[in-house]
Structure formats: structure tokens, C-alpha cells
């Protein structure tokens, strides 16, 4: 499968625990995005990387959230001290951007987080 | 602020009937608009983008800057078109997509 992979597919955690999700983008893609989607809503932007640099973070990304893309390949999204409001689908997408041209997002299947 | 509005949560039509999924946006500048689709148990995928001016699976969408709309249309709905459809706008810097809340399209036989 040469698409965007996300792991795990599902995660159930107790409130207050830390969780980490992983995203493996398409190998030649230089941009990687994290989105969050709650029931009845469209995906909401969290953050994105160009190569290993994190270039933008949404105000939705509180101090409890941190994302990394250490070698410009895979990325991790960590949520510390989870709260019930963090329950959502976390989507990763990647794209190839060259100059002003962007060849479109490819989305992963997402990680569904349930905080109990 | 950039915003995308999809006024209908659910659109139900009969097979063979025309379909129009509405999308309105607010954006100061030249927008870049997209339609994404998510079929049951599949990942979100690009359906079409306004700059391509193409028809995909019989769907078309025209950007109307005067009405700030980008409605998705298909003359004859098919059962396999049943899915969740999201309209999205790319921000002025071309860095991220802003999505609407989505419209479920149900095509009945």
C-alpha cells in the first residue's frame, strides 16, 4: 500500500493518560497535515509540516498537543493528559508541493480516539 | 476569516434525479475550492478542484465569485454516488484546507 498510513486505527484511553499517534505519508510527499474531525463536522486543521519543519499550528492545538516530524518522513501526534473533549477522529494527510503548485492531499484512514 | 458553509446536512434523491450539493464560502481574495468525497468505510478523497474545470464521475462544480458559491452538480444521480461530500477552500497562502461540515447524499432506488 503506497498511500498514507495511520496507526493505530482505534485507541481507547482513560482520561488523563497520554496517547501518541503515528502517520506515515507517501514517501515523496514533502508536506504532512494533521486534522481533527468530530461527529457532524468537517475536518479541522491542527498543524502541518513541510519536510521536518512545523510551519503552522492551529489555535485548536493546545499545550497538551505536540506534533513532530523528526526526519521529514513519518510524523507523530501526542496528546498529554487526555480529556473527554479530545475524543475525535485524527486524520493525517500528505501532499507534494513544489513552488506554487500543490498536487493535492492524500488522506489516511484516521485514528479514532475515545477518551473514557 | 475563511469559512465554508454547506447548508444541508442530508440530501436525499431518487436514482436518475439531478443533484445539487450547495457550498458557500467567505474569503477575501482569490479562492481555490475543492470537493472531497468519503464513501462508506473509505478514506476521504479528492473529487474535483475548481481550477481543473473537469468533470469527475459526472460531477461538475462552477465557481461563482459573485454569489461566493461552488455548488456540486450531477444531472442524473446513481446509487453509487451515495456518500459524504465536503466542500473545502484553500487559504490565501495555499497552506491548508478549510472544510465545510459536509452533506450526506443518499440516492434511493
Could you report the average pLDDT of every consecutive run of 10 residues in chain B (109 residues)? 93 98 91 93 91 86 92 97 96 84 97
CB contact under 8 Å between A43 and B9, yes or no, is no
Chain A residue with the nearest C-alpha to that of B99: A42
pLDDT at B16: 97
CB contact under 8 Å between B44 and A104, yes or no, is no
pLDDT mean across residues, chain A: 92
What are φ and ψ of residue B28, in 5° steps?
Answer: -100, 100
Distance from CA of A15 to the nearest CA of B (A): 27
pLDDT at B85: 98
The pLDDT of residue A103 is above 70: no
Query: How far, in Å, CA of A20 to CA of A64, rounded?
Result: 12
Contacts of A108 in chain B (CB under 8 A): 43
The pLDDT of residue A2 is above 80: no
The pLDDT of residue A104 is above 80: no
CB contact under 8 Å between B43 and A40, yes or no, is no
Which residues are within 8 A (CB) of B34 and not within 5 positions of it... i.e. 6 or more apart?
A: B46, B47, B48, B49, B50, B87, B88, B89, B90, B97
Place of cell 461527529: A39
Query: How far, in Å, CA of B40 to CA of B62, rounded?
Result: 26
Question: How many beta-carbon pairs under 8 angstroms link A with B?
Answer: 43
Question: Which residues 34-93 of A are in CB contact (within 8 Å) with B?
Answer: 40-45, 48, 55-56, 91
- Residue count of chain B: 109
Query: How far, in Å, CA of B14 to CA of B73, rounded?
Result: 15
Chain B residue with the nearest C-alpha to that of A58: B96
Task: Name the DSSP letter for residue B56.
Answer: B
Amino acid at each position: 500500500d503506497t498511500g498514507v498510513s495511520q496507526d493505530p486505527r482505534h485507541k481507547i484511553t482513560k482520561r488523563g493518560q497520554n496517547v501518541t499517534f503515528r502517520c506515515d505519508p507517501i514517501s515523496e510527499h514533502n508536506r504532512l497535515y494533521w486534522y481533527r474531525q468530530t461527529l457532524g463536522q468537517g475536518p479541522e486543521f491542527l498543524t502541518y509540516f513541510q519536510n521536518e519543519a512545523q510551519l503552522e499550528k492551529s489555535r485548536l492545538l493546545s499545550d497538551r498537543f505536540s506534533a513532530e516530524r523528526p526526519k521529514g518522513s513519518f510524523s507523530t501526534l501526542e496528546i498529554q493528559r487526555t480529556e473527554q473533549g479530545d475524543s475525535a477522529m485524527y486524520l493525517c494527510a500528505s501532499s507534494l508541493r513544489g513552488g506554487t503548485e500543490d498536487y493535492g492531499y492524500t488522506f489516511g484512514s484516521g485514528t479514532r480516539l475515545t477518551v473514557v | 476569516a475563511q469559512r465554508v458553509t454547506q447548508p444541508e446536512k442530508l440530501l436525499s434523491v431518487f436514482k436518475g434525479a439531478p443533484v445539487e450539493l450547495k457550498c458557500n464560502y467567505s474569503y477575501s481574495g482569490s479562492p481555490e475550492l475543492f470537493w472531497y468525497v468519503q464513501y462508506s468505510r473509505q478514506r476521504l478523497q479528492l473529487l474535483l478542484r475548481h481550477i481543473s474545470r473537469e468533470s469527475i464521475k459526472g460531477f461538475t462544480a462552477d465557481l461563482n465569485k459573485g454569489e461566493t458559491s461552488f455548488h456540486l452538480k450531477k444531472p442524473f444521480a446513481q446509487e453509487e454516488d451515495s456518500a459524504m461530500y465536503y466542500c473545502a477552500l484553500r487559504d490565501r497562502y495555499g497552506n491548508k484546507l478549510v472544510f465545510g461540515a459536509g452533506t450526506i447524499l443518499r440516492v434511493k432506488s
